[in-house]
């Protein structure tokens, strides 16, 4: 608290109103409005922004303090214009493709690194298969299935086919990467969701605290996971790959990741559990739709 007061004094800010919004503190002052956020010790936002600016990507609220000893970052406040969510989703995809284009480079990689990705996903798929298989075996022993047991058992083939698809794609992915010596990486925002885009005259991405270097498909994958049932992701995916075409191994990895069934845990509320199962199945159909439309194989 003392450090917070010291920052206000340092920048000669006299607060008139405080507003807490998620993990940010918005302060209204006579000089204007500012956002205070606690820093992520593992991610220097100022250095990240300096790098992005050097790559001609400036679609984010600028950090206005330079004191690395402070626990807080201070940003100018952006007054968000009321924008349809569908337009925000398009803006996010546009900025993501631009971010990836501006920050692409290639790093050396060994076969073992690809194999590690392969083995980790294989392990996850085995776990998901065994989890749902056990639930179906229990349901089949019931004299009368509950609604959630019936819904799952009736649609289990969809889950099994998704797992089979993932396993086959993983085998193919391992085959096409066996001679790869380099991997394309980008700066990932790594925290994309619809509320993390603000717009005044231009669109801005906020909440960069989880940003990291990685394979480009992970931004689209996490955005899909978060909002797949809300938007037309076939169109969003087309917008993304039109501006940032994926390499074959990237495309195959993305298709695997979006096709992994979610683990739905049973709850006491029967209707809520049925809803979660239905959403998981709808998610798989959404993923399948993208793959059927855009897969080159």
Residue ranges of domains in the chain: 2-77, 103-294
Cα–Cα dist 68/66, whole Å: 6
139: closest CA among 285, 292, 277? 277
What would the two tokens of residue 242 be?
């039109």
pLDDT score of 36: 77
Residues of the chain with pLDDT under 70: 1-12, 14-16, 18, 66-69, 296-297
pLDDT score of 238: 97
pLDDT score of 218: 98
pLDDT score of 66: 61
Please give the radius of gyration of the chain, using alpha carbons only, rounded to the nearest integer: 23
Could you give the C-alpha distances from 241 to 141, 176, 217, 250, in angstroms and in order? 47, 20, 10, 11
Could you give the C-alpha distances from 230 to 154, 172, 223, 236, 289, in angstroms and in order? 25, 31, 11, 12, 15
pLDDT score of 2: 58
Cα–Cα dist 80/63, whole Å: 18
pLDDT score of 88: 96
Cα–Cα dist 30/297, whole Å: 60
| Alpha-helix residue ranges (DSSP H) falling in the chain | 2-10, 45-54, 85-103, 111-140, 147-154, 156-176, 217-227, 233-243, 248-259, 270-294
pLDDT score of 29: 73
pLDDT score of 14: 66
pLDDT score of 220: 98
pLDDT score of 249: 95
Strand pairing category for 24-29 and 32-38: antiparallel
pLDDT score of 117: 92
For the whole model, what pTM was predicted?
A: 0.91
Sheet holding 212-214, edge to edge: 105-108, 182-188, 212-214
Cα–Cα dist 110/180, whole Å: 7
Could you give the C-alpha distances from 154 to 147, 151, 158, 159, 265, in angstroms and in order? 10, 5, 9, 11, 17
Class of domain 2-77: alpha beta
CATH number of the structural domain 103-294: 3.90.1200.10
Paired with 213 in beta bridges are 187
Separation of first and last alpha carbons in the chain = 58
Is there a shared CATH topology between the 2-77 domain and the 103-294 domain? Answer: no
Cα–Cα dist 1/292, whole Å: 54
| Residues 6+ away with beta carbon under 8 Å from 248 | 176, 296
pLDDT score of 67: 64
Rounded to the nearest integer, the mean pLDDT of the chain is: 90
């Amino acid at each position: 608290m003392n450090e917070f007061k010291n920052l206000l004094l340092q920048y000669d800010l006299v607060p008139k109103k405080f507003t807490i919004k998620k993990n940010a503190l918005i302060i209204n002052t006579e000089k204007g409005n500012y956002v205070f956020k606690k820093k992520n010790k593992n991610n220097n936002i100022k250095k990240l922004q300096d790098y992005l600016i050097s790559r001609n990507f400036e679609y984010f609220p600028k950090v206005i303090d330079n004191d690395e000893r402070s626990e807080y970052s201070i940003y100018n406040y952006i007054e968000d214009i009321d924008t349809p969510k569908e337009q925000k989703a398009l803006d996010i995809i546009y900025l993501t493709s631009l971010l990836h284009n501006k920050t692409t480079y290639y790093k050396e990689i060994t076969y073992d690194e690809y194999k590690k990705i392969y083995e980790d996903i294989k392990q996850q798929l085995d776990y998901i298969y065994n989890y749902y298989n056990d639930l179906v075996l229990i349901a089949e022993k019931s004299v009368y299935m509950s609604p959630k047991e019936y819904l799952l058992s009736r649609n289990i083939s969809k889950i099994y086919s998704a797992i089979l698809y993932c396993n086959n794609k993983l085998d193919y992915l391992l085959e096409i990467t066996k001679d790869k010596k380099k991997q394309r990486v980008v700066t990932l925002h790594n925290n994309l969701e619809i509320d993390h885009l603000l717009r005044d005259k231009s669109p801005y991405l906020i909440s960069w605290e989880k940003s990291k270097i990685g394979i480009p498909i992970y931004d689209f994958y996490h955005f899909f996971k978060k909002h797949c049932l809300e938007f037309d992701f076939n169109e969003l995916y087309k917008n993304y790959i039109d501006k940032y075409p994926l390499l074959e191994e990237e495309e195959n990895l993305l298709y695997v990741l979006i096709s992994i069934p979610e683990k739905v845990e049973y709850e006491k509320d029967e209707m809520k559990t049925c809803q979660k199962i239905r959403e998981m199945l709808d998610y798989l159909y959404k993923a399948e739709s993208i793959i059927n439309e855009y897969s080159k194989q």
